[in-house]
């Protein structure tokens, strides 16, 4: 689980020794070399898909095995997201079947965070056959919203509501035997459907095509698009998300798995969110790993900066941050960590000389100090309500139960769902939000 929505990066030429086409570098688009047999489908903004039902109007994002597009459903006068999956992943991806299997009775708490599968169809092209998944469109990721803001904060009740949605959603997924491992997105408000394509672009800007150019000057092959598009920006700054419009959905179910059926031993989440067992344990990752990542995400939603805030976060610096905040690792992990002496003595006490702190302060920054630095002080700076001492205590108790080093000793999603913080702050905020937006799903109640 991550606040982010895609892995924007540069795409361009590779070493000629690979024998593959080389292209002029284009920033913030998918890997151009993956426009090849088995790879991406070369679709463009303006294309009509599935017998003309969906017209592509902009780019929403991309990943290693798909491109995601904002499309107008011409038959139902609404906007949708179309995920076009690479040909080599289309036959084996379980994403659509997983989403479909998770959509059950609307009265099940937490299910509202699962994107609804609107449609599914196939496209044939020069690079193969591609599965396309149609869902409600996401406006932005939570990370997008924070990064667009000068202060990187959500309104207090918005933060409480988002956290409650995440906890409910993860509890639902775990009850269905699913570890999420994907991204967190904010849905478009339903009012977006009233905009024509021209009005949408007047408000959010025109798509910005970038020409695809081979470095050797040869013409493009049939499977390569003439232009690619960086994702458009349809979001708002985090502090501008109105209470009642903070509906989040979980994305990227291609990274989800059932730990009882598919053992995994490595985590693809961002380094600052990765659980320590992904590095030190020989046991496969499971639901407890999701709980660790959820706790780190919850902290970021409530405050401005991450709990583990390593500069250039490689594995050792992240581990050092975890030890600084939570204490010494379990003995069998402690001895495995070969670089521990660069930061700590054998008792787990910070032991660095001034000027050689390797990214850590010379004095230990406690949980309480981090809470003030990451959450309370930024809120005071921008005039937002700070967290009361009663809520702060309940919040810390909930998160510390989720951030126990040994996975088997961590709180379960069910226990987090019934924590004091959820009962007294998270659930009431979510219920108030639903009443504000009149968006309570039929038959749904906070339970």
In Å, the largest CA–CA distance within the chain is: 68
- Contact indicator for 301, 162 with CB cutoff of 8 Å: yes
SS (H, E, C) the chain: CECCCCCCCEECCCCHHHCCCCECCEECCCCHHHCCCCCCCCCCCCCEECCCCEEEEEEEEEECCEEEEEEEECCCCEEEEEEEECHHHHCCCCHHHHHHHHCCCCCCCCHHHCCCEEEEEEEEECCEEEEEEEECCEEEEHHHHHHCCCCCCCCHHHHHHHHHHHHHHHHHHHHCCCECCCEEEEECCHHHHHCCHHHHHHHHCCCCCEECCECCCCCCCCCCCCEECCCCCCCCCHHHCCCCCCCEEEECHHHCECCCCCCCCCCCCCHHHCCCHHHHCCCCCCHHHHHHHHHHHHHHHHCCCCCCCCCCCCHHHHHHHHHHHHCCCCHHHHCCCCCHHHCECCCCCECCCCCCCCCCCCCCCCHHHHHHHHHHHHHHHHCCCCCCHHHHHHHHHHHHHHCCCCHHHCCCHHHHHCCHHHHHHHHHHHHHHHHHHCCCCCCCCCC
- Contact indicator for 90, 130 with CB cutoff of 8 Å: yes
As a whole number of angstroms, the distance between CA 223 and CA 262 comes to 34
83 is in an annotated binding site: yes
- Beta-bridge partner residues of 432: none
- Contact indicator for 178, 99 with CB cutoff of 8 Å: no
Binding-site annotation, residues: 83
Binding-site annotation, residues for ATP: 83
């Amino acid at each position: 689980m991550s606040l982010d929505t895609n892995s924007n990066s540069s795409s361009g030429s590779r070493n000629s020794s690979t024998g593959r086409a080389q292209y002029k570098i284009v920033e913030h688009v998918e890997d151009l070399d993956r426009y090849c047999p088995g790879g991406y489908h070369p679709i463009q903004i303006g294309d009509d898909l599935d017998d003309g039902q969906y017209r592509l109007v902009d780019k929403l994002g991309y990943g290693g095995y798909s491109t995601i597009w904002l499309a107008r459903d011409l038959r139902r006068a609404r906007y949708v997201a179309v995920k076009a999956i690479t040909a080599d992943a289309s036959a084996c991806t379980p994403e659509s079947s997983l989403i479909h299997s998770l959509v059950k009775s609307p009265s099940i708490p937490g299910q509202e965070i699962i994107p609804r599968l609107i449609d599914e169809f196939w496209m044939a092209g020069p690079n193969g056959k591609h599965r396309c998944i149609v869902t409600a469109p996401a406006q932005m990721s939570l990370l997008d919203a924070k990064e667009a803001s000068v202060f990187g904060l959500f309104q207090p009740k918005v933060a409480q509501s988002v956290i409650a949605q995440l906890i409910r959603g993860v509890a639902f997924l775990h009850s269905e035997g699913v570890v999420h491992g994907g991204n967190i997105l904010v849905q478009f408000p339903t009012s977006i459907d009233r905009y024509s394509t021209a009005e949408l672009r007047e408000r959010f800007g025109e798509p910005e095509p970038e020409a695809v150019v081979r470095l050797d000057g040869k013409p493009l092959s049939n499977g390569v698009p003439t232009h690619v598009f960086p994702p458009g920006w349809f979001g708002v700054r985090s502090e501008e998300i109105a209470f009642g419009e903070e509906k989040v959905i979980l994305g990227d179910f291609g990274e989800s798995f059932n730990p009882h059926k598919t053992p995994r031993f490595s985590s693809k989440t961002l380094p600052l969110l990765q659980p320590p067992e992904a590095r030190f344990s020989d046991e496969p990752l499971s639901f407890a790993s999701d709980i660790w990542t959820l706790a780190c995400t919850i902290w970021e939603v409530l405050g401005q900066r991450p709990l583990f805030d390593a500069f250039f976060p490689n594995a050792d610096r992240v581990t050092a941050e975890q030890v600084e905040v939570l204490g010494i690792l379990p003995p069998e992990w402690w001895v495995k960590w070969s670089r521990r002496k660069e930061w700590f003595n054998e008792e787990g006490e910070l032991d660095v000389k001034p000027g050689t702190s390797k990214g850590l302060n010379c004095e230990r920054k406690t949980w309480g100090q981090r809470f003030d630095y990451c959450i309370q002080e930024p809120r005071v700076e921008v005039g937002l309500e700070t967290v009361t001492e009663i809520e702060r205590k309940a919040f810390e108790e909930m998160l510390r139960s989720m951030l126990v080093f040994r996975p088997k000793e961590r709180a379960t999603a069910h226990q987090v769902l019934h924590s004091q913080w959820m009962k007294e702050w998270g659930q009431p905020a979510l219920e108030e939000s639903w009443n504000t937006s009149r968006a309570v799903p039929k038959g749904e109640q906070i339970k």
